[in-house]
Amino acid sequence: MAKSGLFTVVVQFAHHSPQSRRLPANIQLITVSLPMAKRRFPKLAMALDDKLLVKFTSALEEGSVNGYVLDIGPRFFLMAIVDGGIWFDGFQCHRLSDVRELQVPHKYAAFAEAAMRKRGERMPKKPHISMVSLEKLLLSAGRAFGLVTIHREHVAPGVCEIGRVVSVGKGRVKLLQIKPDARWDDEPYVYRLSEITRVDFGGGYENALQLIGGPSAETNQAP
């Protein structure tokens, strides 16, 4: 975890873990409708409608998350992330059920937004990402961005998997991973959708890996 000024940031790099394991028995999946999600999380809905800078912590990770809510789905919501240096840094999709200590607006929103205006930073437009389900989230993120990061905090705490979405189906995602030295794996790994707790894309680290690693051997095979 790295600290910078008024923001606390969790810095995570690519680690490759064994293939997916079974979902622990004490984890329950809860799916709600979009209108219900907005009713259950009115502060997030207000942040989305009013374009407010927010801050929250996650039940599964250290540090805090800062950014703007761009969309809310039944289980996940999409954020444009503001990093510790108060720059925009890609997108993250967090589970609604993991949100803790939500601040709407962020306590230091006026300062952060003034700094971004001085720098010419503009809030990114919502990418063409579907939040209807995790399956559609992964497929649309795979089409819109070259690399997608998945987190599975219940089964692999502190570990993230970065790669190209090859396919999604039957409750699993097939991911052709890229190593921290920007070399592609030879074969894709398969992970259970039920294990995924967060999805990232379009950030500086993913962009750096893609810049050096280039396209994978299977790039022509669209997900």
Domain CATH code at residue 130: 2.30.30.600
Structural domain count, the chain:
1
Range of the domain at 82: 2-10+20-213
68 located within any domain:
yes
Please state the length of the chain.
223
pLDDT of 3 above 90: no
Mean pLDDT calculated for residue range 125-131:
96
Q: Taking the complete model, does pTM exceed 0.85, yes or no?
A: no
218 located within any domain:
no
Q: Give the closest residue to 79 by CA, choosing from 173, 191, 202.
A: 202
220 located within any domain:
no
> Please, what is the average pLDDT of the chain?
86
177 located within any domain:
yes
15 located within any domain:
no
222 located within any domain:
no
175 located within any domain:
yes
d(CA 1, CA 64): 10
Tell me what pLDDT residue 216 has: 82
Could you tell me the pLDDT band of residue 40, with boundaries at 50, 70 and 90?
confident
pLDDT in tens, 62-112: 999 999 999 999 999 999 999 999 999 999 999 999 999 999 999 999 999
Token duo for residue 193: 């959708």
Would you call the peptide bond into 223 cis, given omega within 30 degrees of 0 as the criterion?
Answer: no
pLDDT in tens, 157-172: 999 999 999 999 999 9
